[in-house]
Amino acid sequence: MQKRYPHQLSYGANNPVIALNEKEVAKIFSQDTRSDIGSEAEKMKFANAVNDLVVKLVRIDYDEKNKWDILVMERVYPFDYRSFEVEKRELWLDVFKDEIKQLHQGGFVHRDIRRPSNITGDRFDNVLLTNTGLRLIDVGISAIKKNVGEKLFAKYVENELAEIEIFGSYFTGR
């Protein structure tokens, strides 16, 4: 059983996320994990400069009391997409696809639209419907083209576009 944290919202593959206040959440880096706080912050900052699809990075900080490195992000409040008409979902999906293309053209690929089957959670945990439309969270395995090279980046984009088609059917078909 995983440790439970005060004000915990979720627990991803490697790190818990807690609520700090009404506007901010923190991803906790309390031990060695596959995630690197600096790398994740860099990728988030990069994506944030392209458009608003990826949740906003607020700051990297240190919690003295708990001795945690924390990645502080904007807090988003997701809606259950099934409470909205399919026509609205189709519009949000079109915008989402356009924003994904902007990220790809800008040199960023999320790489975690659809969770691998060996990781717990819902298939599309990292895509949230919010009051501003669909948003992406958790950029831990995302990639920036200048860091991975043209060939690998193209492969990641190809995989992501296939995942987006699967997500689109899931999002509009339920």
Q: Please state, for a pLDDT cut of 70, what percent of the chain lies above it.
A: 91
Work out the mean pLDDT of the chain and round it to a whole number.
90
Pick from 117, 137, 123, 121: nearest CA to 166: 123
| 94 backbone dihedrals φ, ψ, rounded to 5° | -60, -45
Domains of the chain plus CATH, in order, are: 81-173 (1.10.510.10)
Please indicate, yes or no, whether the overall pTM of this predicted structure exceeds 0.85. yes
In this model, does residue 109 exceed pLDDT 70?
Answer: yes
pLDDT for 57 equals: 98
Higher pLDDT, 3 or 135: 135
Worst-scoring range by mean pLDDT, 34-43, 81-90, 114-123, 140-149? 114-123
pLDDT grade for 5, boundaries at 50, 70 and 90: confident
